[in-house]
Structure 1
Amino acid sequence: MGSVGYRVLAALLVAGCSLGLAACQEQQPPTDGRAVHFTAAGDMGMGAGARSVLEVVSGLRPDFNIALGDLSYKAGAEQDYCDVVTSKLGEDFAYELIAGNHESDGSEGDIDVFAGCLPNRLQGLQGTYGRQWYVDIPLDKPLVRMILVSPGLEFKDKDEFDYSRGSERYKWTEAAIDGAREANVPWTIVAMHVPCFSLGHYGCEAGQPLTNLLISKKVDLVLTAHEHAYQRSHQLGINGACPWIFSGSAVRSCIASTESQVTSGKGTIFAGVGTGGAGEHDLSGDDPEAPYFAAWSAANRNPALGTLDVHITEGRLDARFVPVSESGFMDHFSVVK
């Protein structure tokens, strides 16, 4: 099967699963007709890899895409990058941005310029697009609150985004999560460029206070990039035997579930999707945090560029990594109410 045919098959697997495969039988129709469909990946660039991933996104036909930072990797090329995106996805597609370290300080692009040529197209956005914002989707009777933050980054205006415990940005994030719960929004997803947990060479650049806040608040899914690889954790949870989760090690009691289908409210899944086109880093299965991870793809193991494809209904969240070719790595997981 050619790559185009494979992408069509992947789209069918996620969207309808009408082919009768066992993995698809986890998918359930929405209970009231509402559904949200989005894709997400970071670390893109403007080369053949990025263009291939954008073609996959185009074939999946999501409602919107979250670009998890590190866009053009080239100073002064903001419009060129925007042109690559719109040539594949269309001028009016909601290609939503959060900054990465390559464009936060303006060294290889300027997030504010990117935000000008790839503007927000989601209704009801609160905050500063490209830096720190959230939005409820759909605006009327929302299914999910998407919260996007920028820990570990410094912007060219010297605004260092501090998410230490008790800081204004920490409190903003906490209030955004609590507000979703108070409004009875079924799902909460947080996205940012830098991870805390990784099998690569990065440490907890997101910061342990923010990371533990997200876990303690039982955010359903956290999306990151920065490490050029795909790495999906088990569901991690804080409990009496695990009051705080530290990076750099793994404690079994901090793993709420190792199943591919988990229950919402028990903990948080972290999905690093730095597979948007710029190539992959090596990861290590001997990393001290390895017991926290359920699946991973890297330059030295099952390398694959691709996107995370996420479908949400009131009762479940289904996510699947869709690679650019039939020989690529695949992964899927679900969170149910």
Structure 2
Amino acid sequence: MAIAMMVAVCVGLVLAGCQSGPREAKPFSASATAQPTNAQPSSAQPSTPSTVPAPPGTVHFTAQGDIGVSTGAKKVLDVIAGLQPQFNLALGDFAYKAGIEQQFCDMVKGKLGENFPYQLITGNHESDGSDGDIAKFVECLPNRLPGLQGEYGIQWYVDVPQADPLVRFIMVSPGINFKDGQPLDYSRDSERWRWTTDAIDGAASAQIPWTVVGMHTPCLSVGKYGCQPGQDFTNMLMEKKVDLVLAGHDHDYQRTHQLGVGGSCPGLQPESFSSACLMDTDQTMVKGAGTVFATVGTGGVGLYDVNDNDAEAGYFAAWSGRNRDPSLGTLDLRASADELSARFVPAEGDSFTDSFAIGRR
């Protein structure tokens, strides 16, 4: 309650202006044949967000997925509350049980405040309705970011701050099933592929300093899963030089070096490693050299094992799982005109940490 009262005082200072900070989308009825909405802003405005402003010229946000309603989830929400970000990116897999969507939403609001921007992209557990319904989560945790474009909860982008933006966030849903067990089509040159590439290219044309893509499924992994978003889609993100790609799904933390295509690396090949795709291998990287991929499936549910000997391990700078430095927690990120920086902040009782930064020349 004290946090909610404190952040309410700061309402008018943040995301609506956020100076020193593209339609409010209706809930989505998922189906394999659903197409992206046209990217026109509606006249509806999100309710006033309850947030604490970042320093002038900074965007401060957190990100994690695979949450649940257990003690672990509540501990991670406590971490987020203590960090006081402007908003949070929830990277899918929320309640893990059908019929308790409102319980999940009440848990989030109880920890972060009634109007905190807890921004959703669906995971596989709610995309097909088996363990919850993304439309119900969207209803009780609606978009709070002004200027959002697309299908909130499924495929959307937003520039933050809305005026003179520092970051374009592009949230998509490749590699997971929707109604009737069918995935949405993100294959090369499909409508959703073109929507994504247009959003990335639009950020570059608008000279927005940073582009962050978020989705539920990762491609590269030393954990449980293979490349569910698809090799072509992943290589496209690298070819476009997206700065950071965030994912969940694997219940662990994994962060790659800065990876890029071109020259001796024509593209990533899942389940293999090529040192030619490594653009930078320290913690301080340069914008435009490549892409960093971070899986943050540490939002509260039980962790998976990680494999130090995985074929793709050479791409990774850091990882944590059930059998190695197990830690729930969140990625804490800040963006200014000159730098995008991140650190993993563990939940109470855990100790794993990681940090990295991408700077502009």
What TM-score comes out, normalization by structure 2 length?
A: 0.83
> What is the aligned counterpart of 2:114 among 58, 77, 91?
91
Q: Does structure 1 conserve the Cα–Cα contact (< 8 Å) formed by 2:75 and 2:348?
A: no
> What is the aligned counterpart of 1:193 among 192, 216, 222?
216
Looking at structure 2, the residues matched to 199 and 74 of structure 1 have their Cα atoms a distance apart, in angstroms, of 27
Q: Residue 239 of structure 1: CA displacement?
A: 1.5
Residue number in structure 2 paired with 1:70: 93
**Aligned ranges 1:88-127 → 2 under 5 Å:** 88-127=111-150
Looking at structure 2, the residues matched to 125 and 160 of structure 1 have their Cα atoms a distance apart, in angstroms, of 23
Residue number in structure 1 paired with 2:338: 315
- The residue type paired with residue 181 of structure 1 is A
> What is the aligned counterpart of 2:153 among 130, 140, 159?
130
Q: Does structure 2 conserve the Cα–Cα contact (< 8 Å) formed by 1:53 and 1:276?
A: yes
Residue number in structure 1 paired with 2:56: 33
Residue number in structure 1 paired with 2:326: 303
Q: Deviations over 1:55-84 (max 9, x none)?
A: 000000000000000000010110000000
Q: Does structure 1 conserve the Cα–Cα contact (< 8 Å) formed by 2:326 and 2:350?
A: no
User: What's the secondary structure of 2:342's corresponding residue?
Assistant: strand
User: What's the secondary structure of 1:198's corresponding residue?
Assistant: coil
Identity of aligned residues (%): 57
Q: Residue 158 of structure 1: CA displacement?
A: 6.5
Q: Residue 326 of structure 1: CA displacement?
A: 5.5
Looking at structure 2, the residues matched to 65 and 292 of structure 1 have their Cα atoms a distance apart, in angstroms, of 27
150-159 vs 171-180, which moves further: 150-159
1:169 matched to 2:192: yes
> What is the aligned counterpart of 1:244 among 254, 258, 267?
267
What TM-score comes out, normalization by structure 1 length?
A: 0.89
Looking at structure 2, the residues matched to 183 and 191 of structure 1 have their Cα atoms a distance apart, in angstroms, of 20
Q: Deviations over 1:73-125 (max 9, x none)?
A: 01011000000000000001000000000000000000010000000000000
Looking at structure 1, the residues matched to 290 and 256 of structure 2 have their Cα atoms a distance apart, in angstroms, of 11
- The residue type paired with residue 206 of structure 1 is P
Looking at structure 2, the residues matched to 157 and 242 of structure 1 have their Cα atoms a distance apart, in angstroms, of 38
Looking at structure 1, the residues matched to 184 and 359 of structure 2 have their Cα atoms a distance apart, in angstroms, of 33
Q: Does structure 2 conserve the Cα–Cα contact (< 8 Å) formed by 1:145 and 1:187?
A: yes
Residue number in structure 2 paired with 1:44: 67
Q: Residue 156 of structure 1: CA displacement?
A: 2.3
Looking at structure 2, the residues matched to 158 and 288 of structure 1 have their Cα atoms a distance apart, in angstroms, of 30
Residue number in structure 1 paired with 2:250: 227
Which residues of structure 2 form unaligned runs of 5+? Answer: 1-54
- Report the CA distance shift for 1:103/1:276 in structure 2 as closer, same or farther (over 3 A): same
Residue number in structure 2 paired with 1:145: 168
Looking at structure 2, the residues matched to 327 and 71 of structure 1 have their Cα atoms a distance apart, in angstroms, of 21
User: What's the secondary structure of 1:250's corresponding residue?
Assistant: coil
- The residue type paired with residue 144 of structure 1 is V
Q: Does structure 1 conserve the Cα–Cα contact (< 8 Å) formed by 2:119 and 2:143?
A: yes
Q: Does structure 2 conserve the Cα–Cα contact (< 8 Å) formed by 1:163 and 1:209?
A: no
Looking at structure 2, the residues matched to 119 and 327 of structure 1 have their Cα atoms a distance apart, in angstroms, of 31
Looking at structure 2, the residues matched to 166 and 156 of structure 1 have their Cα atoms a distance apart, in angstroms, of 23
- The residue type paired with residue 293 of structure 1 is F
User: What's the secondary structure of 1:135's corresponding residue?
Assistant: strand
User: What's the secondary structure of 1:178's corresponding residue?
Assistant: helix
Residue number in structure 1 paired with 2:281: 258
1:291 matched to 2:314: yes
Looking at structure 2, the residues matched to 160 and 231 of structure 1 have their Cα atoms a distance apart, in angstroms, of 25
- The residue type paired with residue 207 of structure 1 is G
> What is the aligned counterpart of 1:202 among 225, 228, 231?
225
Residue number in structure 2 paired with 1:11: none
Q: Does structure 2 conserve the Cα–Cα contact (< 8 Å) formed by 1:216 and 1:237?
A: yes
Looking at structure 2, the residues matched to 59 and 275 of structure 1 have their Cα atoms a distance apart, in angstroms, of 17
- The residue type paired with residue 282 of structure 1 is D
Looking at structure 2, the residues matched to 249 and 236 of structure 1 have their Cα atoms a distance apart, in angstroms, of 14
1:275 matched to 2:275: no
User: What's the secondary structure of 2:105's corresponding residue?
Assistant: helix
Residue number in structure 2 paired with 1:82: 105
Q: Residue 246 of structure 1: CA displacement?
A: 1.0
Q: Does structure 2 conserve the Cα–Cα contact (< 8 Å) formed by 1:137 and 1:145?
A: yes
Deviation beyond 4 Å, 4+ runs, structure 1? none
